Structure 1
Amino acid sequence: MKKINFIYSVTEIVKNKADDNIYKYVVLPNNLKFLLISDLNADKSGCSLSVGIGSFDEKINGLAHFLEHLLFMGTEKYPEENAYMDFLNLNNGSSNAYTTDECTVYYFDISNNYIDKGLDMFAQFFISPLFNKDSVDREMSAVNSEFLSNVENENSRMHRILQLCCNKDTRESNFNIGNFETLNIENIRDHVINLYETKYSADKMIGVLYSNKSIEEMEKMINVFNLIKNKNNQIQNENENSDFFYNRFIQYILKVQKINFLHKKIYSFQDIIRNDCKNKIIKYKSIEKSKKLAIFIKTGSSLICPILFTHIVDQFNMEDTGCIAILKDKNLAYDVSISIDNVSWYGLFCIEIYPTNYGTNKLDDILKVINEYFLNFKNWNFKCLINRNKINFEYKEKEDVIDVVEELSERLQTVSIVNILNFEYTNDVPDQDLINEVIKSLGNKDQWIILYADDEYTSKFNDGIFGIEVDSFLIKKMQVF
């Protein structure tokens, strides 16, 4: 098998001293990017491919998720509907996929001896899928079943309430899982094919291949992915300067970090969140025998400066001086968890508070404690965190192959290849202006979205999709799909 000529390649990737893997990042002639990881001791091989499109790119609710399902259902080269999964099952393999707001990720692992054919079958998803009508009908049922399982999932229900808090002309308001009502429409197959043909382009795809093969062997193994069409016609001319191309590409994948937070472009949130949903406790029915208060705050993407957001979370959770300590001392809450989700132009900072029996009647007091904590936040000593990051990165344990390829292919959509392994451990301390803007956004209670899941709450109104009992005001502007 002949190796193709790559547009560009990178081998200087930051890794820890114990990491004896060999890494090489290449750009194929069709502008598809691939990270190759050679681990001679790997007991399995795996591959992942992320596509830089997701539910934000759909015009029919759930269409991107539906397309993800259908790519598993046969290709021109391997037309049998279960050929791919049967092959993996016979050879100690597994596979999965998921769709986010901005990205769709496909991945699999398999015994080392069968990775070549596994790659060929996998690549056909993106070269010549069939979209058979029978498959379309069956997978619609599968998507609907997935929706029904989410109806009983507390996190999915909370996400649905968040959608209702968004103005209905925004992408954030869309019901992105999909079900029979959104997908069982005329010409749905044509809509799926159109999404695939217009959005699934090689220049939006990033693959990761992990195997016990040498880098030279792996370079030949990914030849088949060059058959994927670049539908944006941005194929690199051989005479163009490779450094120029790579710098242009890096500027693209670094766009998240380069968002000018200080210009406050991320603060155009009034166009996303309904004004009547800000700084107001929004109650809805919980299906669990518990109560939970959740605060959602739009701020800068945590990708701008990972150490800054890690520090804020660490300080918040300090058992002696953090906000959690204050809430416990006042008998207002017994536990708190924090997460941060990112899209290209902002981050969503989520604080979930589990109130005590006493705290359930003191929700305003809980909110006041958290607000005052951010307004008076002063501890900006990063030294301990910097030292911890260094240690954690140097002694990071190896992960399962399938977890590595899945995580890295999605991360490569937004993170520089040079720091793809150590990104979450980077120690670039932010300047004071950035610190001030982030903490200001967190303490701006007027922009908070506050949700309260209560198993005892009742209402004659529901969200219209999940059947969640909600405050009546929440559905007066509800999006009708």
Structure 2
Amino acid sequence: MNISRNDNRAYRAFTLDNGLKVLLVQDKDSTKAAASMAVNAGHFDDPLDRQGLAHFLEHMLFLGTDQYPDSGSFNNFVSQAGGNTNAWTGTEHTCYFFDINNQEFEQALTQFSRFFIAPLLNSAETEKERNAIEAEFKLKIKDDGRRIYQAHKETVNPAHPFAKFSVGNLQTLADRERCISDELRDFFNSQYQAQWMTLVICANETLNTLQSWAQTYFGAIKGNKNLKKPEISEPLYRKQDIGKILHIEPHKHMQKLIISFAMPNIDDFYRHKTVSFIAHLLGYEGTGSLYSILKEQGWINALSAGGGINGSNFKDFNISLALTDEGIEYFEDIIEMVFEYICLINVNTEKLPRLYQDKKNLLQIAFDNQEKSRLIDWVSNLSINMQHYDEANYV
């Protein structure tokens, strides 16, 4: 496993008999322990008539299990033991994570593991949690970032799962012919399978002890190693969905121009950092850069490149510019200059190998000298990395 020279942790990766991938980390110096479980199931997996179901399930797993039936018992235990816990639901993944004092870590693992083995999904809790999701939905209605995201969803291929409504609300999660708790149970049984999960456990215990805990507490998660996740067959964009200009009126004062380039999935090229290098070239702020030219014109206040939505069969590359009042009037000229700058890079390829090597060297120095980040954030990122990268490059 490739690790930083500054990293004094010990690692062990293995797979349980049920197909669950596990990464153990011994950190002798840490005053806290942490764990994270990533599941290859998100709002893309929502049934069309139950949009928001994956997000709803994420909420419900915290509301009692077979061995710990009290609603919120895990949150209370972690909080009283000096820790924190949280979760999020994305397009194709859901992630659960916590940190806690070392002394209480094993007890926390016993409770945490039951989320993925036997959650209650109690119908008595669904009404309260539906209202919590409704409140979350309404809170984001006037958020400009969320509104841009939703406008994006409504202008892609409607047959692609990205077009689904991810959060859910009282309408999409209402009881119908069947109680919603029954549908949650069906979703859990079909999507929360061990072969689609990745677990990180980090503590000051020995790796042998951590492995014993992983086998004892997470070995009962049901799984079928021969069952594969269905691939997304629909493209994110059809021909009629690209080459468009969208004008979005913000609630707050915001003057932003986003130029988005559609690409296929690029996970196979992660070792080369090709997109990061392109982002570096476009985001450069030195003399003669795209940023310096537009800034000198008085048209922009900031420029960033990279990011964008991504998934198992798509990737967007974004160039985002914060416009001045004058820049708003010249947005078409700015777009033209962006494409001219891209052409300039394309015709000066003889300089690119040296620039690429310089960037590679800087990234290697940063990797070798990286400082430890907050443990709970680090383990949650690791569990997601395990969904995408080879074992040697998890960290």
Q: TM-score, normalised by structure 1?
A: 0.75
Q: Which runs of 5+ in 1 are unaligned?
A: 1-12, 236-251, 257-265, 422-481
Residue 2 (structure 2) aligns with:
14
RMSD (Å) for aligned C-alpha atoms: 2.0
Deviations 1:27-73 (A, max 9, x none): 11111111000011111000000011111111121111111111111
**Following TM superposition, by how much is the alpha carbon of 1:131 offset from its aligned partner in structure 2, in angstroms?**
0.7
Q: Judge conservation of contact 1:298–1:346 (CA < 8 Å) in 2.
A: yes
Q: Which amino acid aligns with 1:310?
A: S
Q: Does 1:198 align with 2:190?
A: yes
Residue 310 (structure 1) aligns with:
276
Residue 229 (structure 1) aligns with:
222
SS in 2 for 1:412: helix
Q: Judge conservation of contact 2:66–2:120 (CA < 8 Å) in 1.
A: yes
With over 3 angstroms needed to count, the CA separation of the structure-2 counterparts of 1:233 and 1:17, relative to structure 1, is closer
Residue 124 (structure 1) aligns with:
114
**Following TM superposition, by how much is the alpha carbon of 1:227 offset from its aligned partner in structure 2, in angstroms?**
0.7
With over 3 angstroms needed to count, the CA separation of the structure-2 counterparts of 1:196 and 1:412, relative to structure 1, is same
Moved more, 300-309 or 351-360: 300-309
CA distance in 1, matches of 2:189, 2:219: 17
Question: Which of 8, 16, 21 matches 1:33?
Answer: 21
Q: Judge conservation of contact 2:280–2:305 (CA < 8 Å) in 1.
A: no
Deviations 1:416-438 (A, max 9, x none): 111112xxxxxxxxxxxxxxxxx
Deviations 1:359-406 (A, max 9, x none): 111111111111222233235231211110111011000112101110
Residue 427 (structure 1) aligns with:
none
Q: Judge conservation of contact 1:52–1:205 (CA < 8 Å) in 2.
A: yes
Q: Which amino acid aligns with 2:103?
A: N
Q: Judge conservation of contact 2:275–2:306 (CA < 8 Å) in 1.
A: no
SS in 2 for 1:413: helix
CA distance in 1, matches of 2:21, 2:240: 44
Aligned positions of 1:403-442 closer than 5 A: 403-421=377-395
CA distance in 2, matches of 1:295, 1:109: 39
Q: Which amino acid aligns with 1:280?
A: K
Residue 284 (structure 1) aligns with:
248
CA distance in 1, matches of 2:124, 2:294: 55
Residue 452 (structure 1) aligns with:
none
Question: Which of 166, 180, 187 matches 1:176?
Answer: 166
Q: Judge conservation of contact 1:68–1:104 (CA < 8 Å) in 2.
A: yes
Q: Judge conservation of contact 2:236–2:314 (CA < 8 Å) in 1.
A: no
**Following TM superposition, by how much is the alpha carbon of 1:233 offset from its aligned partner in structure 2, in angstroms?**
5.5
Deviations 1:137-156 (A, max 9, x none): 11111111111121132211
Aligned positions of 1:132-281 closer than 5 A: 132-186=122-176, 187=178, 188-222=180-214, 223-230=216-223, 232=224, 234=226, 271-273=235-237, 275-281=239-245
CA distance in 1, matches of 2:56, 2:175: 13
Aligned positions of 1:64-143 closer than 5 A: 64-143=54-133
Q: Judge conservation of contact 2:42–2:90 (CA < 8 Å) in 1.
A: yes
CA distance in 1, matches of 2:314, 2:341: 22
**Following TM superposition, by how much is the alpha carbon of 1:173 offset from its aligned partner in structure 2, in angstroms?**
1.0
CA distance in 2, matches of 1:278, 1:200: 35
Deviations 1:219-270 (A, max 9, x none): 111121001111x3649xxxxxxxxxxxxxxxx99xx9xxxxxxxxx9x98x
Question: Between Structure 1 and Structure 2, how many residues are aligned?
Answer: 379
SS in 2 for 1:367: helix
**Following TM superposition, by how much is the alpha carbon of 1:346 offset from its aligned partner in structure 2, in angstroms?**
2.3
Question: Which of 329, 353, 362 matches 1:361?
Answer: 329
Residue 337 (structure 1) aligns with:
304
Q: Judge conservation of contact 1:291–1:354 (CA < 8 Å) in 2.
A: yes
SS in 2 for 1:177: coil
**Following TM superposition, by how much is the alpha carbon of 1:95 offset from its aligned partner in structure 2, in angstroms?**
0.5
CA distance in 2, matches of 1:301, 1:204: 19
CA distance in 2, matches of 1:191, 1:119: 27
CA distance in 2, matches of 1:233, 1:276: 39
With over 3 angstroms needed to count, the CA separation of the structure-2 counterparts of 1:323 and 1:82, relative to structure 1, is same
Residue 369 (structure 2) aligns with:
395
Q: Which amino acid aligns with 1:337?
A: S
Residue 376 (structure 1) aligns with:
344
Deviations 1:411-465 (A, max 9, x none): 11011111112xxxxxxxxxxxxxxxxxxxxxxxxxxxxxxxxxxxxxxxxxxxx
Q: Does 1:347 align with 2:315?
A: yes
Deviations 1:93-131 (A, max 9, x none): 110111111111000000000000100100000110001
With over 3 angstroms needed to count, the CA separation of the structure-2 counterparts of 1:140 and 1:132, relative to structure 1, is same
Q: Which runs of 5+ in 2 are unaligned?
A: none
With over 3 angstroms needed to count, the CA separation of the structure-2 counterparts of 1:330 and 1:276, relative to structure 1, is farther
Share of identical aligned residues, percent?
28
**Following TM superposition, by how much is the alpha carbon of 1:171 offset from its aligned partner in structure 2, in angstroms?**
0.9
**Following TM superposition, by how much is the alpha carbon of 1:302 offset from its aligned partner in structure 2, in angstroms?**
4.6
CA distance in 2, matches of 1:274, 1:287: 30
